[in-house]
Every structure is written in structure tokens, then in C-alpha cells.
Amino acid sequence: MASKLTTTNHCSDIVGLKYVYPVISRRMGGLSIGINFNTNNACNWRCIYCQVTDLKIGVPPDMDFKLLEDELRFFLDDVLKGDFYERFEVDEDKRSIKDIAIAGNGEPTSLKEFAGAVELIGKVATEVGVFPRSNYILITNGSLLHQTRVQAGLKILQAYGGEVWFKLDSASKEGRAFVNNTAQSCASSFKNLMISSKLCATKLQTCLFDYDGRGFSEKERQAYLDYLKDIKKSGCDVKAIMLYTIARPSQQPEAIRLKPIMGDILNDLAEDIRLLGFDVVVNL
């Protein structure tokens, strides 16, 4: 008996495949087809809100391109022509493919064959008629976008009409070290964001949460708004800012200390961001 697929059930092996998994996306309002390159649960960051079990620092294994193609064709056929929606009790208003999203259990751009995988997914989805009707998304922490091999993948993503969702959870050195466990500087992140926006349509996504009842500090809020002001001054073309909070339990040691942040905090921040001239989307 299949599990009911909901916005809170994001198990990457729910359909028994290695690379492909379904998600009912609260942000997109329908079926998002996830592609997981990091099948070994390895990432170069360790975000304290991450829902990946047994997360470790590292890179994904080599890609099995034949298996990726076979799984993607099989799954798309099941959704488009089979009884997938009925088996997983997907609500009627969610029965459409909103996007194919390269995301999964780690940083996808750390895959050695990243560009080739982006091309294969685009080719298959176009052949079966999913693209260009549905979106093609890369969800990334942006840390490797300065690398030539990753930029090659972004150019391919752009050719398929895709977009990058670039992570920015904090715009302070201390915040990034705490939330993402990364030593990458804000300046390096900004340079990579500039690269991304020149190669492909790019949106910023920010996860805010409450840690030990601290809320969203004024220092972090001001650093974040200052970062966005710098984006405007630089001419960097960010299409939208996506604000959201945690919806599923973290699998990291800090989990017990995390709670969703209050909606009015997100909405107040969104209003300040709009005053800077950005489009903003809020998901609670």
C-alpha cells in the first residue's frame, strides 16, 4: 500500500528509485519531481535544519547515467500515463507536474558529471513533453558556482528555460557558520550569485527559523537587508526572494532547539524587501 503523498512527506525513496523521487511542493502547489545526485547523503555544508538522515561531509558518487535515464523515463510515464496519483492519494488540485528539481540529499553541483546530468534530464523531459510546460530548477547552496564545470551546467539549465534557487540563509559570517556550518564568506557567496544571475535565471531562497526562542535578531535582519541593497547596487539580476520556514523535522543534532519562525516576522521582512524593489514570495 503506497503512502499518501503530502507536503510533509518528502522521503526520497518513497517510490523505490535511486535518483528520482516525488514531492508535493508547498511552494509550487503541485507535483515536484526531485532528482537526487547525492545518494550517499553527502554534502559540503551541514545546515542545522537539514532533514537528511545520516548527513555527512563529502561529495556524491559517480553518476550511473543509464539508471538515471531509465528511472526518469519510467517515473514520468507512470505520472503521465499510469495511476501514480491514485496510488499515492494525491489531492485532485495537486495533480500536475510543476517542475523537475535537482535537489536531493546534498549539494548537487558537487557531482563531477554535473553538466552531463543536467543535459540528460532536460533531454528526457523535453522528449516526453514535460518541458517546456513545467519548470526546471536547480536548488543549490551556490558554493561551487565559480567552477567552470558547474557553470557549464548552468548554461545548459538556461537553455532548457530553467532557473537557479540560490541559498542565502544568513548574510553574516557568524550566521553562516552557525546555520550552514560553512566557512565560505559572504563576499564569495555574492560573487557566485553574480555568476549565477548572468548565466541563468536566479532566485534567492532563505530559510528562517527560531532557535532557542531567539527569533530573528536585528543584527541578522540588517545584514540581510544590506546584502540585498548591495545586490541592487551591483545590478545583479535576482528574479525573486523566496522566504520560508521549516516545515519538517531536522535530522541534525540541533533539531530539538528548532521551531518554525512566526509568520509575522517573515511577512514583516518581506515588506522591507519589497521596499528595496524585489519581488518576494513567502511560504509558511
pLDDT given for residue 6 in this prediction: 58
pLDDT given for residue 1 in this prediction: 46
- pLDDT tens, the chain, 284 aa long: 456 665 555 455 678 999 999 998 766 678 999 999 999 999 999 999 999 999 999 999 999 999 999 999 999 999 999 999 999 999 999 999 999 999 989 999 999 999 999 999 999 999 999 999 999 999 999 999 999 999 999 999 999 999 999 999 999 999 999 999 999 999 999 999 999 999 999 999 999 999 999 999 999 999 999 999 999 999 999 999 999 999 889 999 999 999 999 999 999 999 999 999 999 999 98
What is the spatial distance between Cα 225 and Cα 227, in angstroms, rounded to a whole number? 5
64 with 116: CB under 8 angstroms? no
pLDDT given for residue 3 in this prediction: 65
β-strands 97-102, 135-140 pairing: parallel
Using the Cα atoms of residue 206, residue 212, residue 214 and residue 217 in order, give the sign of their dihedral.
negative
Entry field: residues in the chain: 284
In a domain, 77, yes or no: yes
In a domain, 36, yes or no: yes
Beta strands in 6-150 (DSSP E): 20-25, 30-35, 42-43, 56-57, 97-102, 135-140
Count of structural domains within the chain = 1
What is the spatial distance between Cα 226 and Cα 208, in angstroms, rounded to a whole number? 17
In a domain, 192, yes or no: yes
In a domain, 260, yes or no: no
What is the spatial distance between Cα 39 and Cα 200, in angstroms, rounded to a whole number? 26
CATH number, position 154: 3.20.20.70
In a domain, 151, yes or no: yes
What is the spatial distance between Cα 170 and Cα 174, in angstroms, rounded to a whole number? 8
